[in-house]
Amino acid sequence: MDTVQHSSLHASRSPPPPSRQRTHASAPHQSPAGAIRKIGVHKVARGLAWFSVGVGIAEILFPRTLAKMIGTPTASTTLLRIFGLREIAAGALIFNPGRLRATGMWARVVGDAADLSSLAAAYGCPNTTNRRALTAATAGVVALTALDVVCAREVSKEAGLMAESGALRVTKTITINRSPGEVYEFWRNLENLPRFMYHVEEVHVISPQRSRWTVKAPAGGTVHWNADITAEVPGEMLGWRTTNDADVENSGTVRFEPGTGGRGTVVRVDLEYRPPGHMAGAALAMMFNRSPHQQVEDDLRRLKQFLETGDLVRSDASPEGTGRVAQRPAQPSAVRQFY
Amino acid sequence: MKANCWHGKHDMRVQDVPDPKILSSRDAIVKITSTAICGSDLHLYNGFIPTMEKGDILGHEFMGEIVEVGKDVHNIKVGDRVVVPFPIACGACGACRAQAYSLCENSNPNAWMAEKFMGYSPAGLFGYSHMLGGFAGGQAEYARVPFADVGPLKVPDGLSDDKVLFLSDILPTGYMGAEMCDIKPGDTIAVWGCGPVGQFAIASAKLLGAERVIAIDRVPERLAMAEQRAGATDVINYEEQEVLAALKDMTGGVGPDGCIDAVGTEAHMPGPMYGYDRMKQALMLETDRAFALRQAIRACRNGGTVSVIGVYGGFIDKFPMGSLMNRSLTLRSGQCHVHRYLKPLLERIEKGDIDPSFVISHHLNLDDAPQGYDMFLHKADACTKVVLTTA
């Protein structure tokens, strides 16, 4: 079996999977995302950051005036001031590059949702004096929300947190003091994967191309999917994609590159997945749940331990080895749980 | 078994805890005969190192007898008498292959914590916080030693515990501090801090051919020990003399060729700057008080080397980068790659080049470990080094 994706192998570290590309990728200037890209994602994001800071300062200093402007003179000034702090915090994050900028942009989206629900509540409030002003304010926030969502997505793509398709993306890398052939062999025997991927309960190999996965779900219980090997260059790379009935749709590549200066193998994982709940799920995952990133990072570290030392490394405080669970005190445990 | 457990700032307790067990096929269990309190343990005792949990067993300088080995440990066997290096090293990763054992890429299961503080993680250490692995330490009756096929050094029966115990940390640490100065015959080396590591840095500088070794401290007994036992040619009491002026005078206006910081994060200094940094530390505006390091950089001759073996935990300010850069100084540092020095230094001890036991001021029973910490912290009763025995 040889490669299916020759063209993408050497082109870039993270080729977007072809089938997921949307229309805006082929006609970038006709979509809102294309327009933002044309102006420059960084410029638009910085513009929104300044806007955030400006609105935040206004909300903190002149809450009463602002409340009158949106037609709700009796609105809580405390609430407006809290919203102001939120705006400034989001703005401050957006001035940073990368992950922090994406976090700040999604914080703006969540903030927009909070603004909209407060405005909606104001419609039902007897103290609302000027419905026309309230409607204008609501329309403004709706428009801003649309811009924030599009910009948040573009910023997330630039930070490597979102794939071109809109799926969430995780990229991680580690260097292992073994040859690319050895690391590849270990990985290609897919039933080895649960040995270092703690969230994977079982991989059952159905055929050379297809495997059945049982994976722990964050809230307890398990999720399942079938995955097909979609690309394979022995000793160099593997690509996979789940079949249509997957609980969590995912795809990606893992590459095994010779390290410079005889440093063994550089393993690069580039995966994308669609959490249930789509946009809201994605926004929440971006803001609060780093766990897929941590999970892959921990997986790769355990793979390295396994291949270099022959076992996982355990301490008294972390008897299960690398992982982000609560620490025990650093003293021997009374129960022999492992080995 | 009995073990000395950390329960918070200035709160050590000797408690009954479960005996360690083999967790991996490359582990060994050591029945500890001698274990020491390190100056760096005082940073834990004083609450300066983050990621500690109540109940953590401290201690990273220990030796004893092998009582159990995992099935993949073949180089040592039950009954062997061994000294255990304080960094835990797998022997197989890129860092271990380059003999940079304290940078082992595998031995810290909690590497992600250290990465948050430091960018990348160093090796796991015995009894030294959860971000450095969460391994139970050696101030106990028994300890589990991971990668026992790589770390422990078998020592001959003819040498007493006191002579070889410090191979676990402070002797190689002092030696590496001197080695990092690339000493050439005729060089002058200044050493800040005359605790046990400083004493060994002084002795090592002499062994490596330094002509003059200047010891800097404020405790008269320690300065006397540096001169009489470690071989310092000159001493400076920094509370009585102006260090920079004294060094300039001693070196004909040139400055020492190499400066070793054997003090680290909890340095002292006379004058108002001490209060200023103490205050910043209390307000969490900086984590480490780097008086010794700042002074060592400013004191070093143009083009010289500053070697840092004192332990730092986080961030410092007023770092004299201009002095370092404009005067072509070299800054070297690191937790000691102990494994690299075990055999050569054991040979030096066997030949009689050095007898490290001179730094010991007190022998206590493991039961009295908490008093040992208190005494060592306050340098009470001329305390320079406490060795705990389990007998």
Mean pLDDT of chain B: 96
Residue A189 — pLDDT band, cuts 50, 70, 90? very high
Looking at residue A294, its pLDDT comes to: 87
Test A316 with B109 for CB contact under 8 angstroms: no
Test A317 with B24 for CB contact under 8 angstroms: no
Distance, CA of A193 to CA of B20 (rounded, Å): 30
Test B21 with A332 for CB contact under 8 angstroms: yes
Distance, CA of B333 to CA of B307 (rounded, Å): 6
**Could you state, in order of their start, the residue ranges of all structural domains in chain B?**
2-169+336-389, 172-333
Task: Write the pLDDT tens digit of every residue in B201-218.
Answer: 999 999 999 999 999 999
Residue B115 touches partner A, C-beta closer than 8 Å: no
DSSP state of A111: H
Torsion (CA) B191, B193, B195, B197 in degrees, nearest 10: -50
Residue A262's Cβ-count burial label (10 Å; 0-12, 13-18, 19+) is: exposed
Element (H, E) at B283: none
CA distances for B321 relative to A22, B277, B297, B326, angstroms: 52, 18, 9, 8
Test A311 with B137 for CB contact under 8 angstroms: no
Q: Which CATH number fits domain A168-332: 3.30.530.20, 3.40.228.10, 3.30.360.10, 3.30.70.2740?
A: 3.30.530.20
Residue B129 vs residue B314, higher pLDDT: B129
- Contact between B216 and B234 (Cβ < 8 Å): no
Q: Is the pLDDT of residue A23 over 50?
A: no
Residue A314 touches partner B, C-beta closer than 8 Å: yes
DSSP state of A114: H
Residue B319 touches partner A, C-beta closer than 8 Å: no
Torsion (CA) A47, A52, A53, A55 in degrees, nearest 10: 120
Residue B147 touches partner A, C-beta closer than 8 Å: yes
Test B26 with A332 for CB contact under 8 angstroms: no
Element (H, E) at A258: strand A250-258
Indicate whether this complex's ipTM tops 0.95: no
Mean pLDDT of chain A: 87
Percent of chain B surpassing pLDDT 90 = 91
Strands (E), chain B: 2-6, 12-16, 28-37, 56-57, 61-69, 81-84, 87-88, 124-125, 142-145, 153-154, 188-192, 212-217, 234-237, 258-261, 305-308, 330-333, 362-365, 386-389
Looking at residue A291, its pLDDT comes to: 72
Test A301 with B111 for CB contact under 8 angstroms: yes
Task: Write the pLDDT tens digit of every residue in A195-229.
Answer: 999 889 999 999 999 999 999 876 678 889 999 99
DSSP state of B128: S
Looking at residue B79, its pLDDT comes to: 97
Q: Which of A92, A5, A10, A13 is nearest to A46 (CA)?
A: A92
Are β-strands B188-192 and B258-261 bridged in parallel, bridged antiparallel, or unpaired?
A: parallel
Test A331 with B136 for CB contact under 8 angstroms: yes
Of B17, B24, B136, the CB nearest to A339: B24
How many beta-carbon pairs under 8 angstroms link A with B? 125
Strand partners, A47: none
Distance, CA of B191 to CA of B296 (rounded, Å): 9
**Could you state, in order of their start, the residue ranges of all structural domains in chain A?**
32-154, 168-332
List CB contacts (< 8 A) between A333 and chain B: 18
Weakest mean pLDDT among A71-75, A189-193, B137-141: A71-75
Task: Write the pLDDT tens digit of every residue in B361-373.
Answer: 999 999 999 999 9
Residue B144 touches partner A, C-beta closer than 8 Å: yes
Interface residue of B1, B19, B106 to substitute, partner A, most A CBs within 10 Å? B106
Output the CA torsion sign for B179, B182, B188, B190: negative
Q: Is the pLDDT of residue A20 over 50?
A: no
**pTM flag (> 0.80):** yes
Q: Which two tokens stand for residue B144?
A: 């589990």
Test B5 with A329 for CB contact under 8 angstroms: yes
Test A308 with B124 for CB contact under 8 angstroms: no
Distance, CA of A101 to CA of A154 (rounded, Å): 11
- CATH code of the domain occupying B2-169+336-389: 3.90.180.10
- CATH code of the domain occupying B172-333: 3.40.50.720
Weakest mean pLDDT among A69-78, A302-311, B134-143, B244-253: A69-78
B2-169+336-389 and B172-333 in the same fold: no
Residue B53 touches partner A, C-beta closer than 8 Å: yes
Distance, CA of B316 to CA of A288 (rounded, Å): 31
Mean pLDDT of B83-94: 98
List CB contacts (< 8 A) between A318 and chain B: 109-110, 133-134
Residue A257 — pLDDT band, cuts 50, 70, 90? very high
Name the one residue in this structure whose structure tokens are 């143009």: B302
The DSSP-derived string for B42-97 is HHHHTT-SSS--TTEE---EEEEEEEEE-TT--SS-TT-EEEE-SEE--SSSHHHH
Task: Write the pLDDT tens digit of every residue in B67-82.
Answer: 999 999 999 999 999 9
Q: How far apart are the first and last CA of chain B?
A: 13
Q: Which two tokens stand for residue B203?
A: 């002795």
